[in-house]
Each structure stands twice: as C-alpha cells, then as structure tokens.
C-alpha cells in the first residue's frame, strides 16, 4: 500500500488545521505560528492537481516555509498579536500571494534565489536543513527550560524537514506533513494536559489531579499530608529561589516513596496516596520518605550579608542546607466513607506531628 493509501491528500492540512485550532484555544502561540505555516503549505500541496500547480506548490514550500519556520522557532514566546508575530504572519501572507499570483516570468527568478540559491546544493536539501535547524532550536529550548511543547515542536519540525527532502515524491511529502499534523495534535494535547494537571515547579501531579484521583477512590487506601518544616522562615532568610529549590528536592524524594503516589498540594504541602494493599505499608513508607528528606542536603546560594561592601553584594556563596518535613497519615476505615474525610483526618494528623516537635510521622 502506498503512502497515499494511508494518508489521503487532505489528511495533512486537516490534521495540522485541527492542531492549529487547539493551539489557538490553549494559547500556544509559537505552535500557532508553526502550524499556520504547515497548514497553508500542506493545503497548497493537497489542493493542487494540475502538474504545473503541483510543481509551483512544491517549489513554494521549499522557498518560503523553511525561513518562516526558522523565524517562528527562533522568536521568543510572545502574545500572538506582538509586532514580531504579526510581521511573520504578514510575510506568510506575502509568500502565499506570490505562490498564487506571481507571474510566470517572475517565478523562475524567485525559485533560483530561494532558499539559498548561491549554495551548491539543491533547494530541497537547503530547505530541509533550515527546517532541521528550526527543530534543533526547539529541542534546545526544551532541554534548557523543560517545556514539553518545545519538544513536541521539535518532532513536528523534524517531520516537516523530512517532507522537504528532495528524494521524496509527492505522496511521501504529503505523508510526512500528515505525520507532522498528527504529532502536533499529540504535542498540543499533552502540553495542555501538563499545564492543567502537573505542577510546573515540582513536576508532580497538582491539586486538580489529586482531587480527580480522590473522586474515583474506593476500597482500601491511605492518605498522608506532608509539610516542609519552617518553610516560611526559610524563604524569608534565603529567598524564594532557594525555597523553590527546596520544594524541588523534597518533591524528588517524595516521588521515590515506596508504593505511594506523590502530589503537590499547594505551597509547601504535598500529599502521598497509597491504594489497595499498599495502604497497609503506608506508615513505613512515610517514615522512609521523611528520613530521606532529612538526609538530603540542598545546595543554594546564600544571601549576601549586610556587612559586606556594596561591590560584593552581587556575589553569593554556595551553601548546603538541611530541611525536614512533618507527615500526617490517615487510613480509610469504617468511620470514614469519603476521601475528603480521610484527607481532613490526615491534615489533623499533620498538625499533631508538628505539635509533637516536627520532623516526624504521626499516623491516625
């Protein structure tokens, strides 16, 4: 079966267009720019049936799309109506107009100059290279800041780069662009899921994810509330950047909790959930997590002392600090019917752990 059998001609613009609408709805502005370019390019290849039109559409994709995609990948994330984004969309509109309306005698000159006519390689090879460079920029941004959407765009642009390779015939080009649209859908949906249900700082499921999980609970389970000791005082002393680092380290330790699932509850509070037979080992698992947190050493930059000279105020020394956590644990029994009640009991147990001196587990 050929690629056309798997991917009808309109599959690429349809998939990229749906992903574009999702990106608009979720305010993924870089994805909007990239998908707008891919949707128009794939529609041009799908809609043209006359050989001369198909050739012009393929030429236009190689001439204009790589530069526009590279610009979209390089621009910082801004409002969709920011000047730079509007300029990029204007250039896309001009490229579309040229593709549809440029006189026959002008087109060969454009085709010879773009994307980089002075290079000894074919236009398809240069176009693919520029698009792969755009993909690399997105992947690099993902490595540096950890944004899942950037990783998704890197995959999408890699598919688009493959579509521009000169060795592919039209059916394979359409298939590669359709695959780019399919990857775009997955990337937008996954990034939006992460935004809704995963805490960006700790990487743990957030309060919304916890509420939905608790709403589906039944049978035997245990809930533990975890609070970092004296966190407000730590923030006041060392600053919020150091506080964020502490939250990340504690989250890493809680993620390792045996048979438990960790959630970011809010502020300096976390939640551990143990379901089924695992609930019977919850107290032991909580104590192990508490001990790991106590044994951790968090490297932070100390705030400069007031007595230092003004010229030294910008310099901060790396220090290691110790953090501890208090944990309150409650298990569902015959007197607790709803998960919200167990959660409330765990919160009460947490306050008792604090009252008994902190850095301990109190099980109800």
Structure tokens at 139: 């992947």
Is 39 a residue whose pLDDT tops 90? yes
76-88 pLDDT, tens digit each: 888 999 999 999 9
Q: pTM of the full predicted structure?
A: 0.76
State the CB neighbour count (10 A cutoff) for residue 237: 13
Given 135, 168, 197, which residue is the final one in a domain? 197
Given 141, 175, 197, which residue is the final one in a domain? 197
- What CATH number has the domain bearing residue 348? 3.30.70.270
305-357 pLDDT, tens digit each: 544 444 444 455 788 889 999 999 999 987 787 899 999 999 999 999 999 99
Structure tokens at 308: 């230092």
- The per-residue pLDDT for 31 is 94
- CA torsion, points 122, 126, 129, 131, in degrees to nearest 10? -120
Q: Could you tell me if residue 109 is inside a domain?
A: yes
Residue-range definition of the domain harbouring residue 59: 3-197
- The per-residue pLDDT for 356 is 93
Given 178, 197, 216, which residue is the final one in a domain? 197
270-291 pLDDT, tens digit each: 999 999 988 999 999 999 999 9
Q: Could you tell me if residue 319 is inside a domain?
A: yes
- CA torsion, points 271, 343, 231, 290, in degrees to nearest 10? -50
| Cα distance between residue 332 and residue 334, in whole Å | 7
Q: Could you give the strand order of the β-sheet that contains 261-266, starting from the edge strand earlier in sequence?
A: 261-266, 269-275, 221-228, 325-331, 361-363
Quote the number of domains for the chain.
2
| Cα distance between residue 171 and residue 188, in whole Å | 26
Helices 83-101, 51-74: inter-axial angle, 10-degree rounding: 170
Q: Which residue has the tokens 């909580």?
A: 286
Q: Could you tell me if residue 321 is inside a domain?
A: yes
Q: How far apart are the first and last CA of the chain?
A: 64
Buried-exposed string 318-350: b where 16+ CB fall within 10 A, e elsewhere? eeebebbbbbbbbbbeeebeebeebbebbbebb
Is 248 exposed, middle or buried (CB count within 10 Å of its CB: 0-12, 13-18, 19+)? Answer: middle
Query: Kind of pairing, strands 361-363 and 325-331?
Result: parallel
Q: Could you tell me if residue 202 is inside a domain?
A: no
Q: Could you tell me if residue 88 is inside a domain?
A: yes
Q: How many CA atoms lie within 13 A of 75 on its CB side?
A: 24
């Amino acid at each position: 079966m050929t690629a056309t059998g798997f991917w009808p001609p309109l599959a690429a613009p349809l998939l990229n267009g749906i992903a574009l609408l999702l990106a608009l709805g979720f305010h993924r502005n870089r994805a909007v720019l990239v998908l707008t370019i891919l949707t128009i390019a794939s529609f041009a290849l799908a809609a043209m049936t006359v050989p001369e039109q198909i050739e012009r559409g393929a030429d236009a994709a190689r001439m204009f799309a790589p530069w526009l995609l590279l610009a979209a990948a390089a621009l910082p994330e801004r409002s969709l109506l920011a000047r730079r984004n509007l300029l990029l969309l204007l250039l896309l509109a001009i490229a579309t107009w040229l593709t549809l309306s440029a006189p026959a005698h002008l087109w060969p000159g454009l085709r010879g100059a773009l994307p980089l006519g002075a290079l000894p390689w074919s236009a398809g090879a240069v176009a693919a290279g520029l698009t792969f460079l755009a993909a690399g920029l997105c992947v690099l941004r993902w490595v540096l800041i950890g944004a899942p959407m950037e990783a998704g765009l890197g995959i999408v642009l890699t598919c688009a780069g493959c579509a521009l390779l000169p060795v592919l015939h039209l059916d394979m080009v359409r298939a590669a662009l359709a695959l780019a649209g399919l990857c775009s859908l997955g990337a937008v949906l996954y990034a939006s899921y992460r935004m809704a249900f995963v805490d960006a700082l700790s990487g743990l499921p957030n309060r919304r994810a916890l509420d939905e999980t608790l709403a589906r609970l039944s049978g035997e389970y245990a809930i533990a509330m975890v609070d970092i000791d004296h966190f407000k005082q730590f923030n006041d002393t060392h600053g919020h950047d150091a506080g964020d680092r502490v939250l990340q380290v504690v989250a890493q330790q809680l993620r390792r909790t045996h048979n438990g699932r960790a959630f970011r509850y809010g502020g300096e509070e976390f939640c551990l959930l143990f379901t089924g037979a695992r609930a019977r080992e919850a107290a032991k698992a909580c104590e192990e997590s508490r001990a790991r947190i106590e044994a951790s050493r968090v490297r932070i930059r100390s705030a400069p002392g007031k007595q230092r000279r003004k010229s030294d105020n910008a310099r901060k020394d790396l220090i290691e600090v110790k953090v501890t956590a208090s944990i309150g644990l409650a298990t569902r029994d015959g007197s607790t019917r709803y998960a919200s009640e167990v959660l409330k009991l765990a919160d009460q147990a947490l306050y008792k752990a604090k009252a008994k001196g902190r850095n301990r587990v109190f099980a109800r």
